[in-house]
Structure formats: C-alpha cells, structure tokens
Structure 1
Amino acid sequence: MCMQRKLFLGVGIVGCLLSISLTGLQAQSAPGAVSPGASTGKADTLPVLSLPQCIDIALKNNITVRQGQLQVQSSTLQLKQSKYNQLPSVNGFASQGFSSGRNINPSTNQFVDVGVRSNNFQLSGSVPIFQGYQLKNLIRQNQTIVKATEKELDATENTVILNVIQQYLAVLTGAEQLTVAKRQAETSQLQVERTQKLVNAGSAPEANLFEIKATLANDQLAVVNAQNTVDLAKLALLQAMNLPGGQAFEIEYIKLPDPRIEGYSATALQVYEAALSTQPQIQAADLRTESARIGIDVAKAGLYPRLSVSGNLSSLYSSVGLSRFIADGTTTENKTQANVLIAGTIQPVTIITTQPGGSYQTYGFFEQLSNTLNRGVSLNLNIPIFTNRQYRTNVTSAIIQQQNAQLTADNTRLQLRQQIETAYTNLLAASNRYQATDASVSSLERAFKAAESRFNAGAINAVDYSLAKLRFDNARAQLVQAKYDYVFRTKILDFYQNKPLSFN
C-alpha cells in the first residue's frame, strides 16, 4: 500500500466522520460563534495540522514502523545474499615468515642451519554444481519472506494510521462538543439578560433569575469540561505522532453534510470474503505459511549428495631456495696423477683440466614463484550416509514450523472474521441509535421552542424552562456522538473491503 493511498484512506475516513454539524445548530448559531478548529486572536499564529500531515508525521516517527522498515531491508539483504551464494567463491592466502637455526629449506626439503625468510601464496576457489536444490529453494523462500515483511509493514502502518484517525476524531468530537457547550452558554446568557430586565421591570419573579443563572453556571461548567476534553484529545494526538506534549496547535476542520441512514450494501460474510484478499495481515500470514512450506524443501536438501568443483594455485619463495651457476670465464689446472719409468727415467704423468669459472646464485623472488607454481583442480562429491539423523530432524522441525505458520494464518483469519462481525453488529446498533437520537432531537427541539415561548410569555416558571433546555442540549450532544459512531462503523466496513473513501 503506497503512501498516497494511506493518506487518502485517512482523509476519507475522517472526512466522512466530520459530518457533525446539525441543521438545527446551524440555525441557532450566534453571530460571533467560532467553528471547531477555527481560531481568533493569538491562536491565528498557531500551526494548523491536517490529517495527512498528522499521518505523515506519525509514520515517520513511529518506532514500530521504523523497525518494520529495517526488517524489510534485512530480508531484502538476505534475498540478495541467497542469490550471491550461487556464484563461485575465491579465497587468497599469503604469509611471510623468518626463522633461524636448524630449518627445512621449503624448496628442497633439506635441513639447513641458516636464517630463512620464506613466503607462501595460495589462491583457491570452488563452484557449487548441485546442492540438493538448496540454493534455489533458499532464493524462493527469501523472496517470499521479503513479500511477507512488506505486507507486515503495511499492516503496521494501517494500525498507526487508524490510531491517528481515532485521535484526530477525538479532537474533532471534543471541538464539536465545545461548540455545542458554548452555544448553550450563549443561549443561557441571553436568557439571563432578558430575565434580569423582566425582574427589574417587575414582570418576573426574582426566583426565575436565580434559576436561569444556575442554568448558566452549569453551562459554563460544561464549557470548561469540554475544553479539558479537547486539550486531552490534542495531547493524545501528539502522542500518537510521537511528538512531545505541550505543543500548541490547531487541526484542520472540515464540515460535511449529514450522512444518509440506509442499510449497508453487504452482509458481514461478504465483507469478510472481500477482506481476505485485501487485508495485508492476511496476506502476510499466508506468505509466512508459504515460506515455511518452502523451508521444508530447504531442509530436505541435506539428504541429497552435493557436487562441487574446486581449484587451487600455490607458490612459495625461500631465501635459501634453489640456486643456479653463473659462468665467468675458464680455469686451467695441471694435476699429476702418477709417475712412470721411461728409458730408465721416472717421468710424471700430468693431466691438464679446464673448468668453467663462475658462482652459484639463488633464484630471484619472482623466478622462485614461477618455478614453484602448483595448480590443481578437483571434482568433489559429498554423500551423506549417516549424520546422526541431523538432517532428518531438520526436516521434521521444518514441518512443525510450517504447521505452526498455518495455525497462525488460521488464527489471523478468525480474528479478522470476529472483528468484522463485531463491526457489523456495532453498525446496526449505531444506525438504530442515530435514527432514534435524530428523532428525539427533532421532538425536543420543538418542545424547547414551545417552552421558550411560554417562558418568555410568563406561562411557565424557570425550572420547567431549564429542564426543557437541558433535555434538548443533552439530546444534541448525544446526536453528535451517535453520528460519529455511525459513520465510523460504516467506513470501517468499507476499509475492510478496500473501497475508495471520499468526503461525500
């Protein structure tokens, strides 16, 4: 689910929930009344947050969402690594050493009694050919895990969005209740002023004035309580966005027509069937089950033979390594081998030998590396015969994990079905409550207007007038709550079906 859709979801839900302005209240609004969310005076400098802004801030600051994003990155990294595992592996090794005393010449394997400096270089590599389809199945499993973590992140973001919507709704509800309370207080204030004039003129008893003032005091207390409710709701909204409390701000107020009360277009079962294919928590649970099923194939790979090709290159150098003779001219040597008697005279027998001149020099560094270079290639076959039943145990464990993942998916479906059934039942109750409350407001409004006319004419006392006003005010407040509850239940069922939400 993209960010644009999430913001549209949030705005759509709350937009429909903002249908809270009663026609009767609009007709009775005082000229100086201020709508919820509007501000005057010093409040004009306060920042105004819209619902999309609140959702965006909450998603950026929420720790659980950030952990989910890291989990997606981690699973994506694991997927890349499982693909890299199909590539050859190459390793290099180099060493340099020095030893004195009696040593073995690494070039001739003969003992020498000198200091020896030596180097050893190796390069090896291997390529997997057949691993019991383990690498292929690991890639499939990690691909499934990446999709599962993405869906789990979507589910987490949905939870955060719905929480922000709920807190945003609480601020709007409190603001509307505050407006209702202020209008009630304004009406009582006007009635106090009128009654004061009548008492001063002697047209009404002073007891009426005391009763109306008591009603005004009660209305002013309701204003204070409503303001406290708004402040607490704003604090909860800040906390939902992971922002520190105590920040002054206003929210964007949207006014929409009253909702239409009509039967919902789908049954609870139809809503559930639609939710199965759209809700990310269901999709994530199914993907986790599929991942666990592929994990069984991964575990079975340990039962198959494994075939690979490996090769290596190695070479070495020694300061007392092989040497070569460097010629430098020739030398002549006369050597008497024996004496012989010739004609009675002893004559020496001399042998003249000629030898090349020169000296022995050790081969250079790179020459030794070239002369001692060793190459090798091998085909390796590993056949598991008896491994203490380790691989069999791994397969059994993978089967248990798959069964547990399936039960988790079944439980997720069960919870979703129960949530939808509860939401559907609450919708029916909210619809009945809203219709009954709306009818009650209409009746009590007419009764209050009649009582107000009779009170102004002196036909009834202040107590009867106050009771009529109290009943009418309570009914209007209950209608606000009933309307919020009804629209919220409707949009929740729409949300389960992934329906586009709008302000209309």
Structure 2
Amino acid sequence: MSRFTLKILLLYGLGISSTNGYGQDRTGLQDTALKVIPPVWNLASCLQYAKTNNIQIRSLILNKKSAVEDQLQAKSALLPNLSGSASQSFNHYNVTQNTSSNVINTSGSYGLNSSWTLYRGGFLKTDIKQKELSVQSAGLSILETENDITLQITQAYLSILVDKESIVYNKDLVKTSEAQLAQSKDRFKVGAAARKEVVQFEAQLATDNYNLTASQNAERQDKITLKQLLQLPETRDFDIVKPDTLITTPNIPDLNTVQDYALKNRPEIKNAELGIQISDLNLIKAKSGFKPTLSLGAAIGSNYANDPNYNYFKQLNNNFNQQAGLTLSIPIFTNRINKTNVAKARIDLQQSQLTLENTKTTLALTTEKALITAQNSQNQLVSATEQLKYNTEVFRIASQELKIGAANIVDFYQQRNLYVQAMQAYIQAKYNAILAAKIYEFYLGTPIKL
C-alpha cells in the first residue's frame, strides 16, 4: 500500500474551524524571516503559525480591511460634504497719458460649498447594510481558507509521522538482516551453510538499506511540503513532535447529527447565505434608480477687487453672499440603464440562491463520504492489526527456525515479506483511520488534536 494513500483523504472534507465569529482581524503581517523559528513543531504550533503567516490568509485579511473601508465610506455618504475654494488674480497693464506708468490690479474670491443628499430612493441606507454584510462575508472567507490550510497541514503532519514509523521499522529490519548475515557467514566458515545463502542475506541487507534510505528521503520531502504550507523561510533545523499516543475516536458520530451541525455552522454555508442577502440588497439598490433624488445645497462666499475707495475688509463684508437651495432630480429616460441594472440584479440573486443550494448539496455528500471513509478506515485498521499480529508471530517462529537451521531460506523470506507487507499496511491503516476520523469530527466543530 502506497504511503500516498493518505493524501486521498483530502477529497473527503475541508474541516470546520473552531473559531467563533467571522474571522479575527490579525495585524501581524511581519516578515517571517524576522521571526525566531523553533527547530521542533507540534501540530498546534503549525496550525497557529499558518493562520498568522500564511500569505493567502494574510491577503484575505487585507480584503476584509478593504471591505471595512467600503463600509465606512457608505456610512459617510449620509453626511453632507464641504469644500472650500479660494482664488487670487493679478492684472498688469500700462497707463500712458502725460507719463507712462505700470498698474497692477488685484482681485480675489473665497467661498465654502456644501451638498447633502436627503433622499435617494433608499439607496444609501441599503448600501450601508450591504457593505456590513460584505465585511462579514470577508471574515467567513478567512475561516474557509483557514479550514483548508488546517486540513492540508494536518495531512502533511501525519505523512511525516508515517515516514518516521517507516524509518523505525526499516532500521529494525536492517539490524535483523545484519545479524542474520553475520550468523550466515559464521556458518559458512564452518561449512554449515552454502555461499548462496550468504549472498542471499547480503542481497536482503542491501534491499533493506535501500528501503531505509527511501523512507528517510520521503520524510525529508514531506517536511519540505509542510514547510511550504507554513511558508517558512529557509531553515535547516526543522522537525515535528511525534505524539506519545495518537487519539482516535472509537465511536463515530451519527451522520444526521454531523450534517445538521455542519449545515448550520460551516463558514461556506453562512457565506452562501450572506451572498443571497447581499444580492437581495443589490436588487433594492438597483430599483432605487427609478426613484427621485432630493439634495440640499448651500454656499457662502465673498470677493474683492483692488478699489481705492474701499479697503480689503470692507469689500469682503459688502460682497459677502449666502445661498441655499433644494434640488429634485427625477429620472424620466435613462437609456435603459436602470432597467438593465434591475434585471442583472435579479439574475445575480438567482445565482446566489443556486450557489447556496449547491453548497448545501456538496456539503451533505462530503460529510457522507467522510463518514464512509472513517468507517472503512477503522475496519481496515482492525484487519491490519490482526494481520500484523499473526504475521509477526509467524515471522518470529521462522526466524528462530532459521537460526537453528530448521527452516528453508525460501520459506523464511516468504514469511519475512509477508511480515513487511503487514507492517506497512498497519502503519498506513493506522494513520488513515486517524486522519479520516479527525476530518469527520471536524464537521462537528472539533479542533484537530493529536
């Protein structure tokens, strides 16, 4: 059984975060190169580091901040604006009568202008509600990505644990082969064994060393995969903690319980539901285009010109003016712009409804697949455990018989190969069962722990 079988379980779910709300607003976007990287990691530290430093998550956090700015802008649209203006001009010309002289006239004007939208068909308040939902949706997108990253890191972490166990039993096989080779050489020296037997043990030792090297290389490759998921800077000292015991769940939760919880709490479901609300508000905004707009405008200002009869401040006082007025804009013919906006908004609402329906269907099928995978993985683990138990005993007996010369070497290698296959199947089945159970429990909001 290939060690890559473990990765197939990624198809059966994306996990559910235990984080409440719509995602935390993290500001720790520092360069990871400036952080102190520990040489040994446990699963919890891997997950926490990824949630803070993963570039995809950091990008989504920035998207949420941008949505917050849009929300603040939408709220500010309810307030009046205010702008100021000032101009100063200089006019130079020559006066030629009895004598020639240069004259410079100056003038200036100053003013304040303000406008306030009093009514826009409900567009402004609806826009505020829509922007608030967009902020929540951005937070849910963060949670969705955190779930994806969590599952990928857990899978990579367990792959390394598979490699570590493979290294341990391959080292044991190498030691056993070395001892058997030494014993065979001693028997050959005294004429109790043929040269063919020694060569066979030498070939087996070479094979065991090759398998050991392969498992060590697999561990290095899987560590690189985990480092890529964590997006760690280049570091030579990197390893993970192997738990003393691996926690498994003998009792698999009921499918209806898991599905009901997931359909109510999964971030992708909530995000799809928000999508319908956002689309509905967008339709209301589009319909407001048919309604009139009422705005209040006001302005104050003054000006002066270079006049010898009036000084600067007196002119400003005399020319000071104020004005205010209401403007009503009624859409009569808009080249079908409003009608098109409403039609497209209705289409967008229907698309959002289909997205929610598809998300629920996909989630229901995914949880069912996760249940089947968890059940099958536990059954396979039980069978693999029994298989390893009996093959271990048979291999032990065959080793003892070979040691006293009571066993045929062909029969011994046959039992040895069966033992190796049983050990590989057991290790793979054990971690398959753990990962499948963790994925299924994740849909109930249970954090992944080893």
Matched residue type, 1:185: V
The answer to whether the Cα contact below 8 Å between 1:215 and 1:466 also exists between their aligned partners in 2 is no
CA distance in 1 between partners of 2:370 and 2:18 (Å): 23
Matching residue of 1:69 = 61
Which of 212-221 and 147-156 deviates more? 212-221
CA distance in 1 between partners of 2:172 and 2:190 (Å): 27
Matching residue of 1:409 = 356
Q: Could you tell me how far 1:410 is from its partner in structure 2?
A: 2.3
Matching residue of 1:195 = 184
* Structure with greater strand share of residues: 1
CA distance in 2 between partners of 1:458 and 1:186 (Å): 20
Q: Could you tell me how far 1:369 is from its partner in structure 2?
A: 0.8
Q: Could you tell me how far 1:127 is from its partner in structure 2?
A: 2.3
The answer to whether the Cα contact below 8 Å between 2:43 and 2:449 also exists between their aligned partners in 1 is no
Matching residue of 1:265 = 253
CA distance in 2 between partners of 1:58 and 1:162 (Å): 11
Q: Matched residues, percent identical?
A: 29
CA distance in 1 between partners of 2:58 and 2:398 (Å): 59
Matching residue of 2:109 = 120
CA distance in 2 between partners of 1:315 and 1:432 (Å): 89
Q: Could you tell me how far 1:181 is from its partner in structure 2?
A: 0.7
**What SS does the corresponding residue of 2:265 show, helix, strand or coil?**
coil
Matching residue of 2:9 = none
Q: Does 1:478 align with 2:422?
A: no
CA distance in 1 between partners of 2:223 and 2:238 (Å): 8
Matching residue of 2:290 = 303
Aligned with 2:377 (options 402, 406, 430): 430
Matches within 5 A, 1:217-256: 217-244=206-233, 247-256=236-245
The answer to whether the Cα contact below 8 Å between 2:44 and 2:449 also exists between their aligned partners in 1 is no
The answer to whether the Cα contact below 8 Å between 2:155 and 2:435 also exists between their aligned partners in 1 is no
Aligned with 2:161 (options 172, 176, 185): 172
* Structure with greater helix share of residues: 2
The structure-2 alpha-carbon separation of the partners of 1:229 and 1:54, relative to structure 1 and needing over 3 Å to count, comes to same
Q: Does 1:156 align with 2:140?
A: no
Matched residue type, 1:371: N
Matching residue of 2:86 = 94
Matching residue of 1:358 = none
Q: Could you tell me how far 1:314 is from its partner in structure 2?
A: 1.4
Q: Does 1:212 align with 2:204?
A: no
Q: Could you tell me how far 1:431 is from its partner in structure 2?
A: 2.3
Matches within 5 A, 1:364-375: 364-375=311-322
Structure 1: where are the runs of 5+ without partners? 7-45, 103-112, 321-360
CA distance in 1 between partners of 2:274 and 2:230 (Å): 30
The structure-2 alpha-carbon separation of the partners of 1:436 and 1:229, relative to structure 1 and needing over 3 Å to count, comes to same
Q: Could you tell me how far 1:251 is from its partner in structure 2?
A: 1.4
The structure-2 alpha-carbon separation of the partners of 1:196 and 1:259, relative to structure 1 and needing over 3 Å to count, comes to farther
Matched residue type, 1:479: Y
Larger radius of gyration: 1
Matching residue of 1:316 = 303
Matches within 5 A, 1:285-364: 285-320=272-307, 361-364=308-311
CA distance in 2 between partners of 1:53 and 1:431 (Å): 28
Matching residue of 2:71 = 79
Which of 60-69 and 204-213 deviates more? 204-213
Matching residue of 1:447 = 394
**What SS does the corresponding residue of 1:277 show, helix, strand or coil?**
helix
- Cα distance per residue 1:279-333 (max 9 Å; x no partner): 212211211221111111111222222222221111101013xxxxxxxxxxxxx
Structure 2: where are the runs of 5+ without partners? 1-16, 20-37, 95-101
Matching residue of 1:399 = 346
CA distance in 2 between partners of 1:5 and 1:422 (Å): 22
With structure 1 as the length reference, what TM-score do the two structures score? 0.76
Matches within 5 A, 1:129-140: 129-140=118-129
**What SS does the corresponding residue of 1:491 show, helix, strand or coil?**
helix
**What SS does the corresponding residue of 1:387 show, helix, strand or coil?**
coil
Pick 1 or 2: higher relative contact order, CA cutoff 8 A, min separation 6: 2
- Cα distance per residue 1:442-495 (max 9 Å; x no partner): 111121122122222221122221221121122111100011111111110111
The answer to whether the Cα contact below 8 Å between 2:18 and 2:447 also exists between their aligned partners in 1 is no
The CA RMSD over aligned residues, in Å, is 2.4
Matched residue type, 2:212: V
- Cα distance per residue 1:369-424 (max 9 Å; x no partner): 11111111212222222322322222222111111222222222233233223222
